[in-house]
A = this chain, B = another copy of it.
Amino acid sequence: MASADAPYPVQEIADAWERERPGTPVSAIGIVTPVWQLAKLLGDDRRRVLARAGVDTATLDLLSVLRRAGEPYTLSTRDLAARSMVTAGAVSQRVARAEREGLVVRRTGEGRPRTVWVELTPAGHELVERTVDQVLHREAELIGGLTPDQQRQLAGLLKILLQDVQVRLGDNRITQVGG
């Protein structure tokens, strides 16, 4: 059985809370719920696309981060955790899985002390080249119902919201200047 494919209408959720519990603070539902539903639909779809290529989304995420970093396709596990938004433990497991499949190698003893460097192997590089366009093209199709102008508007609003949520979550780190 496939995972569910039809998100439940957001408006009905807010209305139901209002009906059942008048005064429930529903103001965030119109944004938070569709964000989760979209993430779920897109994530499920990406997983199915990648399954055909014999890879899982977590592994491709790791390989993609390394590939995008450019030569020499090497990052510390610390950087990998930050760029993937997962815990250090998750990175350790991702790297172990990918290393077992020959997609990356671990190296230590160079540069900063105590850091573990992870480098893409030719096989890992090849896997990215073979799958990334497929995934990105598919997603471009999926959001293609919005006009270019709507896409720009939406991307702009999401960017503002993301930066703001980040600040409110207590991360006061400055990640970007301007723009």
* In the complex with contacts A29-B136, A68-B16, A167-B145, A87-B1 CB distance below 8 A: yes
Interface size on A, residues (CB 8 A): 94
Is there contact, CB below 8 Å, between B85 and A3?
A: yes
| Residues of A in contact with B (beta carbons under 8 Å apart) | 1-11, 13, 16-17, 19-21, 24-32, 34-43, 45, 48-49, 51-52, 54, 67-70, 81-89, 129, 132-133, 136-137, 139-146, 150-151, 153-155, 157-162, 164-177, 179
Is there contact, CB below 8 Å, between A32 and B160?
A: no
Q: How often does this chain occur in the complex, in copies?
A: 2
Is there contact, CB below 8 Å, between A7 and B88?
A: no
Q: For A143, list chain B residues within 8 Å (CB).
A: 28, 31-32, 161, 164-165
